[in-house]
Structure 1
Amino acid sequence: MSVRVTNTGDVATSEVVQLYARNSNSAYGAHAPKKKLVSFEKIHLTPDETKEVLLQVDPQTLALWDVNRSEWIVEQGNYEFMIGTSAGDADVQVSRALSIGGKSIAALPLTQSLNVFDHAFASNEVVYHEVSKERTAAQLKAKAIVGGYYAVRSKQNGSWIALPKADLTGVQKVKATVASNVQSGTISLHADALDTTPLAVWNVPVTEPVSYKISNANVMVKELGYVDVEADISAAVSGVHDLYLVFHEPDLRIDSLSFTLKEPGTNPGSPGTNPGTNPDSPSTPGSGSVGIPVKPPASGSETEGETDSEGNVSAVVTVQTGDVADQAKAARIRSSGIRVIGDPWNVSIKDKQNTYVIATLPVNDVVAANSTTIAYVGEGGQLTPVPGVLTKDTNGNKVWKVLLNQGGTYVAIHSHREFVDVKPSA
């Protein structure tokens, strides 16, 4: 690619002509590199002098990391090449579009256990920790560059990490290997975006440390133990989707995912059905199963839920501003030092056929700006955080979209925590 550069000034000068590229069709979408420097040349120009600058591009400078192949590839797509004096949009003088052949990002291999860190293409507010010194030792001995070395830990409620291109056709269950050394909480699985209805929800318990001797070494190790938790996929889903894992408490860790696929010729039933109605797809409370979602209700109004495959209403949800009893609960929570934002809600759920339902809690600007999570208030004043995301409804109003398994009093709270990374021996 070439460009003509002219010095229109009165003194001699030097300039670095820079060529940037981006793939407008990357499978990583908005998380693909916005601009990559792929070539540059420094030239010297006297007053009124013009030079033609040839910028050659090594194809490997266009490469990005395919997290599912574990290798660098030149991704196919429509690329925009931009020439300027810096990466700033205002300094781009010339741009050209060019279609480039190459490879596509590979599909997520669902037939094997997947380390979340290894297959992530985007994340927000997470940190990484070594999972196991024994695993690290084995993988280093095997000279594995990508070897499931790290687990992902949430820094706050709403932390997330994303994996690309999972073909969910026939997926019935998802098992997560998780841990926490601070508090229990939930992690939800979403398709294509953070605010879509969860496909599954895992309950993460506080896990105990484990001690062992590393194989072929006289070294005792004590580190955080991990456990497996399994959840049903909430509804029939097929096709290729990006997966978003959303953490609903800080200090939750996830190592890997394992998917259970429907075997050809079997009819194991529909995941997420009412407990006991289909023995081939149980959905017990606390298992992480998600009920068929209901339409978000307006404040103070009753909304009929969507119907299931047999035409039955899955739930009727009513959301209202809290009454005197709800206000009293919120006041007791405030008196204990917890920062409650705004008024409480009272949620009632009727005709619930599934473990979980979706509720939409309307909020004003103050609640939207200051709340970090939604919590259920028990009769004794205990708080139970629930999975949720701050988003907008179809009318553009700010709302908390939450996943509930019971009616009652709910409050928006603001929590803040200082984090100190855990020592390797912890």
Structure 2
Amino acid sequence: MSENLLDDALSRISRFAEQADVAQEVIDSLMQPRATKTASLPVRMDSGATEYFTGFRCHYNNQLGPTKGGIRFHPNVTLEEVQALALWMTIKCAVMDLPYGGGKGGIIVDPKKLSPMELERLSRAYVRAMADFIGPQTDIPAPDVYTNARIMGWMMDEYEAIHRVKAPGVITGKPVRLGGSLGRDDATGRGAYLCTLALARKQDLTPQDTSVAIQGFGNGGYHAARLLQKAGFKIVAISDSRGGIYSSEGFDVESVYQEKQRSKQVKAVYCNASVCEQVDHDAISNEELLELDVDILIPAALEGVIHRGNATKIRARHLVEIANGPVEADADEILEEKGCIVVPDVLANAGGVTVSYFEWVQNRQGYSWDAETVQERLSERMERAFEDIWEQSRQHNTGLRAAAYILALKRLGEAVEAHGTRNYFNS
């Protein structure tokens, strides 16, 4: 993995800038975050002792609107990671043509070691530290790695208590009864599923004859696997942080998921009602999963899992990136030379932020949409964005990642130029 994730993210901006043909001011505005806040979060533990956790929040760029981005709880969170993720969110919102800039947050913590009450106190402590840094018109957080709807509900409640207002639009990904949106729970996986369908159409892939391997079986990976299998794709490999399973015959995704909820492990099973039977399979590592000879590989875990050291071993013909930054910048060229088509994270995992936008709109309107409406509008947005990027790819003779960045930089450029650039004032 790259030692500095932000440098890795910035290298792509520099690489694609010339092809985008935008003013230098646009590139300069993306070379550093607009503002970043670091806070020490005191939390009273169940033992009575007080422990201190470090939290971050980054507003990377707000040219297109208030910043938007998730909050992750993870022991390996760093300031540079948060800033890189906020930069990617800036690009992602521009790709999806959303009225948002990019933001991100995180806390250095292993949430599995906290009790439910300690987790609530930590969530509320984060909002107390960031209460003047977030807001419905300023910066709108959402769930990310190891955070969920309940945590977002705690955070919204704390923000409202501090400001003495009802402000459901300050947080997205909330429980539905607290102002959340129907369809938000599977939005990230559904967006990746829609991109995979679009890719399959472009590449003349028949679902029943298409093998898929998924690294990461969290919310995004599970829902993508579930929807793809329902559409006829063969899910031949699944893994979580502990390792994975492989069978050329494929797995019943729902059975594997239900067993994971029960045992906290990915196991090769088929379940009929409450009776589960083990199916023939090979136990594989996460590294082995990435190197499988499959039609579609879906990295849905953490960033940097494909890099210069292992990119030459990737045999999948297509990649769909659900995770943020699963392919390091120095591996892009290797994959392109191998003829691997990559649907980049700034498109493939944008279903989450898109439905978060729908949730924010509903909160502002005071009117809730049904699940069918949410899914229809998500499908329209994802398909339109995929077609826009595919067209950019054809025009510029580039891969889909470059095309996505070119499209995003052009849209950001239009916002910058609306205020006037050096060329305008000099003329």
TM-score by length of 1: 0.23
The structure with the largest alpha-carbon Rg is 1
- Greater relative contact order: 1 or 2 (C-alpha under 8 angstroms, separation 6 or more)? 2
Higher helix proportion, which one? 2
The structure where strand makes up a greater share of residues is: 1
TM-score using structure 2 length: 0.23
